[in-house]
Amino acid sequence: MDLSRTTVQAYTTAYIAGLTTTQLAALTSLNLSYLLPGQVAVLTATQVGSLATSQVRGLTSTQLGALSTSGFSGLTSTQIKNLFPVQFDGLTTTELALLTTTQRAGLTTSELASLDAAQLNAFTTTLIAALTVGQVDGLTSTQIGRLNTTTFGALTATQIGGLTTTQVKGLSVVQITSLTTSQLNGLTSTEISALGSLQIQAITTTELAALTTTQASGINVHQAPALSSDQLNALSSADIGALSSGQFVGLTSTQIGALSTTAFSGLTSTQIHNLTTTQAQGFSANDLAVMTSTQASGLVKNVMKVLTTTQVNALSTSAMAVLTSTQIAGLSVTDISDLSTTNFSALTSKALAALTANQVKSLTTTELSVLSATQLSGFRATVLAELTDTQVASLLSTSVIAALAPTQIAVLSTAIWFTASQLAALTTTDIAVLTTTVVSGLVGSQMVALTTSEIGAFTVTQIPELAPAALAALNTLQVSGFTSTQLGVMSVGQLNVLA
């Protein structure tokens, strides 16, 4: 049937409404394009649903916009699928709000891409949630970014997870802040990595706390510095520990210093090992106080060098107890001398064995006084020789003296270091290695503390060095401790005082 424009437009609305589907099917797409908006408005759902694809494609965007609520509901998913984008773009927000989930199946990515913000936001939340990932992918980043919070909030976790990185970059700050827990679960690490600095800063602490370690691994080296202290501390310790060295190196010293003890506990030894000296300077005393032995194993020499005395003193005893010789070597003489007795007592003999002469010279009498025999066994003889009289006096308790190795005893060069009780604590082996300088300086008050076994331990080289005045203080029992060999090398003056 080929009707003119005049003929078609002369039909009354009653006539149009009364046309059967067979009669409508006889009209060409050109005939239908002549219908006035008022005529289109009376088409029923049945009439509209019966139109062939070619007939629907012949309708103008104005005609489609003129469909009544009832007429619009008659559009099938197939008809909607075959609309030209320019036709679909002509649909009113009222009509779009009427789209059913069944009709939704016909929406093409081209049709969706033709809609403006008002049209998209006219979709019901039910329809939005029913869109396939492919349909959502058809939206441009601009369209995604202009969805209002109601429309955006209707997107499912699956749809969120299907967003392209380009679409993710189009999300507004308001949208990111409004993400529900369910939607947040849909974000992939790749999507998180695509967020810009302003977008990252918009993620709430509640949202960050809900991230899985896999999601948190998406935070890249450029985003990390943009996180606030509150945001960082919102991450779980597991999330913090999951950050790669590349991600972690992006944190500033201020951010490092602001880590809560909970967040800090998540740091791995590898992360700590890869810290820059600048980052390490940000360590807070509270965090260092809870550093575990495992974490401490990651501290490198260069990091130890830049730690302040306050930071070093803040280290937990667990951390101090595992410091290696290399780590100890990084400490300054001030760091060493200012160590608290608690921390100094935690150092192992191996760590103490690594102390340099200058570090040993910096030790305070208070520090030395708390050294155990086990710790002192770590001192190298050459280093022990650097101790001053005052240092040794505070160091050599009778228990420590007894633990000294002969090689350590041998380096002690001034007899004044030994009190009577200290001298008495020496073993016979220790006595035999005392230097001639030490022996010649012994006085009576020291000699009286020696046992007969200790007296018998003096070598024939040492005996001639004993001062007669010192020998004069010995009692009869002690004198009996000298062997005939020892007596044989004594001078007349020495023998006279023993007679």
- Would you write out the chain's pLDDT as a tens digit for each of its 499 residues? 678 999 999 999 999 999 999 999 999 999 999 999 999 999 999 999 999 999 999 999 899 989 999 999 999 999 999 988 888 888 889 989 999 889 888 898 998 998 999 999 999 999 999 999 999 999 999 999 999 999 999 999 999 999 999 999 999 999 999 999 899 889 999 999 999 989 999 999 999 999 999 999 899 888 888 999 999 999 988 888 888 877 888 889 999 999 999 999 999 999 999 999 999 999 999 999 999 999 999 999 999 999 999 999 999 999 999 999 889 889 999 998 898 989 988 988 888 888 888 888 888 888 888 877 778 777 777 777 777 777 777 776 667 777 777 777 776 655 446 677 777 878 898 889 888 888 998 999 889 999 999 999 999 999 999 999 999 999 999 999 999 999 999 999 999 999 8
pLDDT value at position 283? 94
Closest CA to 135 of 169, 152, 118, 159: 159
Task: Supply angle C-alpha 266, 267, 271, rounded to 5.
Answer: 155
- Structure tokens of 310? 């306050």
| DSSP state at residue 480 | T
**Rounded Cα–Cα distance for residues 487 and 495 (Å):** 8
pLDDT value at position 478? 94
Please, what is the end-to-end C-alpha distance for the chain in angstroms?
154
**Rounded Cα–Cα distance for residues 188 and 218 (Å):** 8
pLDDT value at position 178? 93
**Rounded Cα–Cα distance for residues 269 and 449 (Å):** 52
What is each CA distance from 417 to 167, 379, 397, 421, 439, in whole angstroms?
Answer: 79, 17, 11, 11, 12
- b/e map of 384-417 (b: 16 or more CB within 10 Å)? bebbeeebbbbbbbeebbebbeeebbbbbeebeb
The amino acid sitting at 326 is T
- Structure tokens of 104? 């939704």
| DSSP letters spanning 227-257 | S-HHHHHHS-HHHHHHS-HHHHTTS-HHHHH
- Structure tokens of 208? 């960050």
**Rounded Cα–Cα distance for residues 312 and 309 (Å):** 5
CA dihedral 232, 234, 238, 240 (to 10 degrees): 0
The sign of the CA dihedral 373, 404, 401, 350 is: negative
pLDDT value at position 414? 52
pLDDT value at position 398? 66
pLDDT value at position 415? 46
Classified as helix, coil or strand, 93 is helix
**Rounded Cα–Cα distance for residues 250 and 409 (Å):** 52
Count the alpha carbons within 13 Å of 139 in the hemisphere toward its beta carbon: 31
- Structure tokens of 287? 């965090």
What is each CA distance from 10 to 14, 15, 42, 88, in whole angstroms?
Answer: 11, 10, 15, 27
- Taking a C-beta distance cutoff of 8 angstroms, is the pair 481, 456 a contact? yes
- Structure tokens of 322? 């595992």
What is each CA distance from 67 to 28, 73, 454, in whole angstroms?
Answer: 19, 9, 118
